Structure 1
């Protein structure tokens, strides 16, 4: 092996290669490989059971047994770089009978930080996240949104380079979600690398640099929305409301759409939403309606958001 190769270092804060994991006989993750760049924020999305949370817990070291593949932090084994990762779980992870201040003191000591430095760091973060008066309270006295923000404060006590958040927006109202996005963007601007999961797809799309879709435990897609629209041939949304259509003609329409590579993304009573690759396909659907003498109303023809494109995965 040459010297250059021997001393070469992966500069990415996080790299995973062929990560796999199984629960008993059920394979949850298979061959998941990705890179997270410095100052980058990415979202991992997927349907329930796709392995999103499991993957984040493996990176964070919460799950360690029976895992396959390699995980490197700045080119080194995760075992020697675990303090570079801050993990924000869905549930609060503090001692319920102690005040937030006492929890911070204990966590600081566990991380090798003096009580003074831990409290200084906590106070700074609490102020940014509008939790100034939380120190004297106990975890159970906080609202759901406050608990999420407190979890983030705890995860950043030792100033990790990588922040991992598992569904941080669950149960938050708009104002709290907005505050959290502002905070994450400020962390990103300071060079933090952020990886998160969320079911709020369109909102997430507006803030992250890249989207990774897990499907059946594998990476189905890695890129931005425009690239995903091209991959799934869903560049336009055509929404219609039909007055009436027989079951026979509806089945004919569905078969026609399959033949023309047009996706019916949503169907409810008289509402039909089509995913189109090109504007010309709109005319094909209108002609199909006319052929079967189906009366319809056009609700909209526009570009899709991430929620709508995701329906095609």
Structure 2
């Protein structure tokens, strides 16, 4: 895939605090790239540097479709985590204003705005003031504003915040559609299930440093060992004696067995002791949510984890 944006060796400090340490990644045309991390990890600082809201102490940000480092603002769409629509302005007026800031033709912007308002169940709301909208409706309007000018690079910071499940599905559908048409998408979210469902690659940052970087498949293979969930009353001591089990968690009659890396699941299941009480059994890989929690809290419970390189 063609690389649209390259971030190289970014460093940023605020007084005595090092916010970013040697941050490097790229975002490619037609892919959804996740940037993840706990609060205060450096995600927003990275995004603000890319947008030119602030500037790094060192390192470079290269926009390959715009002769290098100059920020092509008219080619970037940005949905910030902090919502900032003018409350006393009508929906259509604010959308056309945002399009005009990107030098996008007003007639075309109005046509696209009406199409998107209908798609996001906001038909007939074009002359309603923003302050009269619900939080979810306001989120939809701001999302439309970020994509109305047909950006080549779209940066979404917590796009699903405040949305009901139906609206989340609408957003997911549109984000996938944009990626399929070639838009490079950088997505930041704390909703790991949605990231795991949507993203092609991910970059995780902790304390201003890269901790995980790679395709979702590579990360899952490298970090996500298998786990076995057993519904049945079993003694912890019995479960801990099973080969290739390095950790056991129990909640009433449900036990989760975390397996060693490179275990062959079919062979492992065949060797389970006959005395085991099993009402239900499920074997799958550790989720991205569990990887995130492990890394973000420095538990280091995932054995033999290494870096997955894209």
Task: State the TM-score, normalized to the length of structure 2.
Answer: 0.78
* Equivalent in the alignment of 2:258: 275
Q: Is the CA contact (8 Å cut-off) linking 2:99 and 2:145 kept in structure 1? A: no
* Equivalent in the alignment of 2:99: 108
| 1:81 aligned onto 2:72 | yes
The whole-number CA distance in structure 1 between the counterparts of 2:252 and 2:38 is 24
- Cα 1:47–1:107 shift into 2, 3 Å: closer
Identify the match of residue 226 of structure 1 among 198, 217, 225.
217
1:35-74 equivalent positions in 2, closer than 5 A: 35-62=26-53, 64-74=54-64
- Structure 1 segments, 4+ long, off by >4 Å, are 240-246, 266-272, 279-283, 295-299
Shift of 1:203: 2.9
* Equivalent in the alignment of 2:226: 236
Shift of 1:123: 2.0
* Equivalent in the alignment of 1:139: 130
Shift of 1:39: 0.8
Shift of 1:206: 2.0
* Equivalent in the alignment of 1:308: 290
1:174-213 equivalent positions in 2, closer than 5 A: 174-213=165-204
For residues 176-211 of structure 1, what are the alpha-carbon distances to aligned partners after superposition, in whole Å with 9 as ceiling and x for unaligned?
A: 111111111111121111110122223322222112
SS of 2:198's equivalent in the other structure is: coil
How many residue pairs were aligned? 290
Shift of 1:169: 1.0
The whole-number CA distance in structure 1 between the counterparts of 2:209 and 2:252 is 34
| 1:91 aligned onto 2:82 | yes
SS of 1:262's equivalent in the other structure is: strand
Q: Is the CA contact (8 Å cut-off) linking 1:238 and 1:274 kept in structure 2? A: yes
Shift of 1:244: 8.4
Shift of 1:69: 1.3
Q: Is the CA contact (8 Å cut-off) linking 1:88 and 1:164 kept in structure 2? A: yes
- Cα 1:155–1:302 shift into 2, 3 Å: same
Q: Is the CA contact (8 Å cut-off) linking 1:11 and 1:74 kept in structure 2? A: no
Unaligned ranges ≥5, structure 2:
296-310
The whole-number CA distance in structure 2 between the counterparts of 1:12 and 1:23 is 30
With 109-118 and 145-154 compared, the bigger mean Cα shift is at 109-118
RMSD: 3.4
Q: Is the CA contact (8 Å cut-off) linking 1:236 and 1:301 kept in structure 2? A: no
The whole-number CA distance in structure 1 between the counterparts of 2:36 and 2:170 is 21
With 67-76 and 92-101 compared, the bigger mean Cα shift is at 67-76
Shift of 1:116: 2.9
- Cα 1:123–1:59 shift into 2, 3 Å: same
Task: State the TM-score, normalized to the length of structure 1.
Answer: 0.78
